């Protein structure tokens, strides 16, 4: 809960219909000090279904790109999440990805009330193909700024720069969280990343398709744990460390282990191997030293096995809608 | 000279009133196939004086930020140079620096004729504090994306990403040049970088002020050599290497050596040492292997000693204008 005194807060969430954004909106609406929550989303990767359950009169949806969002309000809190996060999505539309992040940040900074607080969801991808493991926040990264994953990685990096430099030159209450791989309910069935792909492929009866040899590792954080860490970070008023802050699960699991687990859980699915994604990082694991210092008591509590089970249950319901199931079957994410 | 067949070319140069941009405009106007050259500049670091000598009727100046530039024309060639390049300038206005580069590139891409050619002047600063020397184009760099120099470095990196990804997804004739330190006539007296600072300080009778201990090295390219390399790169029609391309001088000289040379050249100036710039790279040297392959015969011909002499002569004339001299004396670049 926020410790700041002001009540009747106006809050803006960009990407509020997304996988993470919608769960953040749910959590924000539990706050008694909130007067207005505007969710901006252009439904590129976000979905109306993710917020369809919200009946709270303080909640307003605006369906447009964050770059085009105009408002008579200024906001006490801005959460800038608008961005695709999955390689097939951002690699298809790199210019749009860059714009959502950096132009979106420029736009929403203008809408922040003086003394307001700004939260940006950056990414472990700022570390690129890391030469150190686990990755501390001080690691400068190894991103190929001309490569096929660069739009996302560099958009996140330059947006961090804008925000930290705005703080240095003009002052800004800033929370930049570098989120590591996150999964769970409300991921798109056609998201295109490993866990959701494997689950959808298994549920639809096909083989589970591993890109590369599956030895690449990720640190899979379940969505409720990640949202909890993000929220605690945002609402802590003072701490000695200025950010950015790694948030994620530091249990590293290979992609092949996840595929095997999903194939067995759903029951007897074959695993097949396909061409690797270009520039796919071979490993990824957060150094959580700073997170433990800044967020005492917070930790990722949901093991990936349980998270996968919960996601399988949710995805079953998603796919039980015949129209959606047909769309998913045709999408590239499931094919590859 | 361009080998492409079309005559009556329309060309856009952003930052055309700047140190490099204005010298590029001079060179472009020597081309017989040029119908129109529009120079866009908001005079942030560019100066009207740099293009005041141009009387060519094909040359048009538009004084506005590149983000706001509108035109009924589409352009066969775009040279996007608009950006401050000196730390004191971009550190004062980081948001504006980021916008000039990335939003400027988004804007000018829209103005490029189908099949047109786009040139972007990136920088050796994409390498940050380099762990390898000399730096080849394949080196991914070590930039602190939250640090006080990041607005420039990350703006250049994300703009490279936008351009390379636009080429990958939509096709684009692209020339990205990573320029190393460049100096010469038309640098601002209050530019704030070492060579111009030292020259102005010496000419105004004061001591030459070295930031840090002066052991940091740079590879100083004289402006005519750099513009020649940039032009040759732009006008080469085909080569096997897709860029980006390092352009600069690979003779590494320490800042203290330059200070000593300037102090002696102007005559008997004292050298004093001051606090270092934050995050000042300790060394910087281009690996020119690819440049020699792509631009056979091109090399930096002007040694820095001769370049410094030419720049001293030019700066003497600049400072002979009493009004300008008074402005320069008051500017931070000369004080520090």
Nearest Cα residue in chain A from B150: A161
- For residue B88 the two structure tokens come to 């004191």
- At how many degrees (to 10) do helices A304-319 and A322-330 cross? 110
- For the cut 70, the answer to whether the pLDDT of residue A331 exceeds it is no
- Indicate yes or no: CB of B164 within 8 angstroms of CB of A146: yes
Q: Can you spell out the DSSP letters for B198-239? A: HHHHHHTTS-EEEETTS--EEE-EEHHHHHHHHHHHHH----
- Residue A73: band (very low, low, confident or very high) from pLDDT cuts 50, 70, 90: very high
Query: Among residues of chain B, what percentage have pLDDT more than 70?
Result: 94
Task: Tell me the pairing of strands B112-123 and A34-40.
Answer: unpaired
- For the cut 50, the answer to whether the pLDDT of residue A3 exceeds it is no
Q: What is the CATH number of domain B9-180+221-247?
A: 3.40.50.720
pLDDT, tens digit, for every residue of B97-141? 999 999 999 999 999 999 999 999 999 999 999 999 999 999 999
Chain A residues whose CB is inside 8 A of the B126 CB are 145
> Which ranges of chain A would DSSP assign to H, the alpha helix?
19-28, 87-92, 94-98, 104-110, 150-170, 194-203, 223-235, 255-266, 289-294, 304-319, 322-330, 332-335
Phi/psi at B306 (5° precision): -70, -40
| CB-based contact, B187 to chain A, within 8 Å | no
Query: Which candidate, A16, A125, A162, A158, places its Cα nearest to that of A81?
Result: A16
Among candidates B102, B128, B168 on the partner chain, residue whose Cβ is nearest the Cβ of A98: B102
Q: Can you spell out the DSSP letters for B226-275? A: HHHHHHHHHH----S----EEES---EEEHHHHHHHHHHHHSS--EEEEP
pLDDT, tens digit, for every residue of A262-288? 999 998 889 999 999 888 888 889 999
What is the predicted pLDDT for the residue at B335?
30
pLDDT, tens digit, for every residue of A21-64? 999 999 999 999 999 999 999 999 999 999 999 999 999 999 99
- Residue B150: band (very low, low, confident or very high) from pLDDT cuts 50, 70, 90: very high
CA distance B86 to chain A (A): 16
Distance between CA atoms of B116 and B15, rounded to whole angstroms? Answer: 19
Task: Tell me how crowded residue A335 is: count the other CB atoms within 10 A of its CB.
Answer: 13
Chain A residues whose CB is inside 8 A of the B146 CB are 160-161, 164, 176, 243-244
- For residue A278 the two structure tokens come to 């270009």
- Indicate yes or no: CB of B95 within 8 angstroms of CB of A164: no
Query: Among residues of chain A, what percentage have pLDDT more than 70?
Result: 94
pLDDT, tens digit, for every residue of B8-59? 999 999 999 999 999 999 999 999 999 999 999 999 999 999 999 999 999 9
CA atoms within 13 A on the CB side of A128: 23
Average pLDDT over residues B254-278: 92
- Helix, strand or coil for residue B68? helix
Is B152 annotated as catalytic? yes
Residue the block writes with tokens 């040279």: B79
| CB-based contact, B92 to chain A, within 8 Å | yes
Q: Who contacts A73 (Cβ-Cβ below 8 Å, separation ≥6)?
A: A10, A36, A38, A111
Chain A residues whose CB is inside 8 A of the B93 CB are 169
What is the predicted pLDDT for the residue at A332?
34
pLDDT, tens digit, for every residue of B175-195? 999 999 999 999 999 999 999
Nearest Cα residue in chain A from B94: A165
- For the cut 50, the answer to whether the pLDDT of residue B261 exceeds it is yes
Distance between CA atoms of B10 and B38, rounded to whole angstroms? Answer: 8
Distance between CA atoms of B10 and A228, rounded to whole angstroms? Answer: 55
What is the predicted pLDDT for the residue at B327?
61
Task: Tell me how crowded residue B85 is: count the other CB atoms within 10 A of its CB.
Answer: 25
Distance between CA atoms of B235 and A179, rounded to whole angstroms? Answer: 43
- Contact predicate A98/A66, CB 8 Å: no
Average pLDDT over residues B217-228: 95
- Helix, strand or coil for residue B161? helix
- For the cut 50, the answer to whether the pLDDT of residue B293 exceeds it is yes
CATH topology (fold) of B194-218+249-284+302-335 = UDP-galactose 4-epimerase; domain 1 (3.90.25)
Distance between CA atoms of A311 and A199, rounded to whole angstroms? Answer: 8
Query: Which candidate, B220, B335, B333, B213, places its Cα nearest to that of B280?
Result: B213
Q: Which CATH superfamily is domain A9-180+223-247 in?
A: NAD(P)-binding Rossmann-like Domain (3.40.50.720)
- Indicate yes or no: CB of B165 within 8 angstroms of CB of A126: no
The one catalytic residue in B127, B152, B222, B304 is B152
- For the cut 60, the answer to whether the pLDDT of residue B2 exceeds it is no
Q: Which CATH number applies to A194-218+249-280+301-335: 3.20.20.140, 3.90.25.10, 3.40.50.300, 3.65.10.10?
A: 3.90.25.10
Q: Who contacts A98 (Cβ-Cβ below 8 Å, separation ≥6)?
A: A151, A154, A155, B102, B158, B161, B162
Q: What are the sequence ranges of the domains in chain A?
A: 9-180+223-247, 194-218+249-280+301-335
Distance between CA atoms of B238 and B235, rounded to whole angstroms? Answer: 9
What value of ipTM does the predicted structure carry? Answer: 0.93
What is the predicted pLDDT for the residue at B336?
26
- Indicate yes or no: CB of B140 within 8 angstroms of CB of A143: yes
Q: pTM for the full model?
A: 0.94
pLDDT, tens digit, for every residue of A98-150? 999 999 999 999 999 999 999 999 999 999 999 999 999 999 999 999 999 99
- Indicate yes or no: CB of B126 within 8 angstroms of CB of A145: yes
């Amino acid at each position: 809960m926020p410790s700041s005194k002001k009540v009747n807060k106006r809050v803006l969430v960009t990407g509020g219909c997304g996988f993470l954004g919608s769960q953040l909106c749910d959590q924000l609406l539990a706050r008694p000090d909130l007067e207005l929550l505007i969710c901006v989303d252009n439904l590129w990767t976000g979905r109306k279904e993710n917020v369809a359950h919200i009946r709270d009169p303080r909640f307003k949806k605006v369906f447009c790109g964050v770059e085009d969002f105009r408002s008579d309000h200024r906001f006490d809190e801005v959460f800038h999440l608008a961005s695709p996060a999955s390689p097939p999505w951002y690699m298809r539309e790199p210019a749009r990805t860059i714009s959502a992040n950096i132009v979106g940040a420029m736009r929403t900074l203008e809408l922040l009330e003086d003394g307001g607080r700004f939260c940006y969801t950056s990414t472990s991808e700022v570390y690129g193909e890391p030469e150190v493991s686990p990755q501390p926040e001080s690691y400068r990264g190894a991103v190929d700024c001309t490569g096929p994953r660069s739009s996302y990685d560099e958009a996140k990096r330059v947006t961090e720069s804008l925000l930290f430099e705005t703080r240095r030159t003009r002052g800004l209450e800033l929370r930049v969280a570098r989120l590591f791989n996150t999964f769970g309910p409300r991921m798109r069935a056609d998201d295109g990343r490993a866990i959701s792909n494997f689950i959808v492929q298994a549920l639809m009866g096909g083989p589970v398709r591993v890109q590369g040899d599956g030895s690449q590792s990720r640190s899979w954080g379940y969505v409720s744990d990640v949202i909890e860490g993000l929220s605690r970070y945002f609402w802590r008023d003072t701490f000695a460390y200025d950010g950015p802050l790694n948030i994620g699960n530091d249990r590293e699991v290979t992609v092949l282990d996840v595929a095997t687990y999903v194939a067995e859980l759903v029951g007897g699915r074959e695993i097949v191997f396909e061409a690797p994604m270009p520039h796919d990082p071979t490993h990824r694991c957060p150094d959580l030293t700073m997170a433990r210092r800044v967020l005492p008591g917070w930790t990722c509590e949901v093991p990936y096995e349980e998270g996968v089970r919960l996601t399988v249950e949710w995805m079953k319901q998603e796919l039980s809608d015949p129209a959606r199931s047909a769309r998913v079957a045709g999408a590239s994410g499931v094919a590859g």
